[in-house]
Chains A and B, each alone.
Chain A
Amino acid sequence: MSFQHGKSTVILVSGNNLSAFTNTSSFTRGADEHDVTTYGKDDHVVAGGLGAGSFTMGGTYDNAASGSPRAVLEPLIGAVVALVRRPEGTGSGKPQQAFNGLLKSYVETSPVADMVTWSAEFTKSDAVTRTTQ
């Protein structure tokens, strides 16, 4: 067991490797919460429900006509696409999460004193497949 640096993280969206344009990503997994408290209880009783999750990523904008975040993501807005996340990079024996996600938004931001950036937000759809590469 060892700590892992984030610089080697690999993200594939619909088969396109956007890692070289990405400097942040976050995968959140959770579940619905149901209150099943009955009369006579002094505290809430809860039960777990359906799984849920979201995935966000962002980085530096690139104007390439193909393979760049804009070229890949803009046409996919509103579609459920395949996502692959490799938090330790690509390599034999390293972990991988594969799941589908609805691309809810693609945002380009232009700060006056810095590089143009982009970000994208997905809602997880269905189960996550965890494998070892």
Chain B
Amino acid sequence: MDLASVMDEVSGRLDTIAGLRCYPYPVATVTPPAAVVSYPDTYTYDATYGRGMDRMSLPVVLVVGKVSDRAARDTLGAYCDGSGTKSVKQVLEGGTYTAFDSLRVESIEFDVVSIAGVDYMAGVFTVDIAGSGA
């Protein structure tokens, strides 16, 4: 797998969600709602013999607005849903990709992230990706 291509394709697929700004790498500033495909937490080689398969755990940070804003909660909720047009899980797992073979949205954790000195409510999705090791 080529890491840049994987991050590009994941971001490109998220970009099909109406109104969501998507970035295939960590950017300096964002305007919410925005999805930032960050660098893998882990990139595991040799899942099979002979460089057959590699796997990575890719974080997608979804920034929605102020922590104390009720609208931010409602917005983030739609992205966290297991199904629906804004569901990150449904949209990502429904995509067709060439940079890798398999994608599963494993989980989401909620956090406050600081970008360019501004605190945002965010959902950090963990995406499990598997593809060719060659």
Interface residues, chain A, with chain B CB atoms under 8 Å away: 6-11, 17, 19-23, 59-60, 89, 113, 115
Contact = CB atoms under 8 A, between A and B. Distances in A.
Interface SS majority for chain B: mixed
B47 interface: yes
Most buried by A among B47, B49, B50, B53: B49
A20 B46 CA distance: 9
B130 A115 contact: yes
B48 A19 contact: yes
Nearest to A11: B49
Interface residues of B, number: 13
Nearest to B132: A20
Given A113-B106, A115-B102, A115-B130, A23 B50 contact: no
Interface in B35-58: 46-53
Interface in B86-134: 102, 104, 106, 130, 133
A10 B47 contact: no
B47 A60 contact: yes
Contacts of A19: 48-50, 52
A20 B102 CA distance: 16
A23 B47 contact: yes
Nearest to A113: B106
Interface in B57-106: 102, 104, 106
B47 A6 contact: no
Contact of A21 (B46, B52, B102, B130): B52
Contacts of B50: 7-10, 17, 19-20, 89
Given A7-B46, A60-B47, A22 B102 contact: no
A117 B102 CA distance: 13
Contact of B49 (A20, A113, A115): A20
A109 B1 CA distance: 25
A23 B48 CA distance: 4
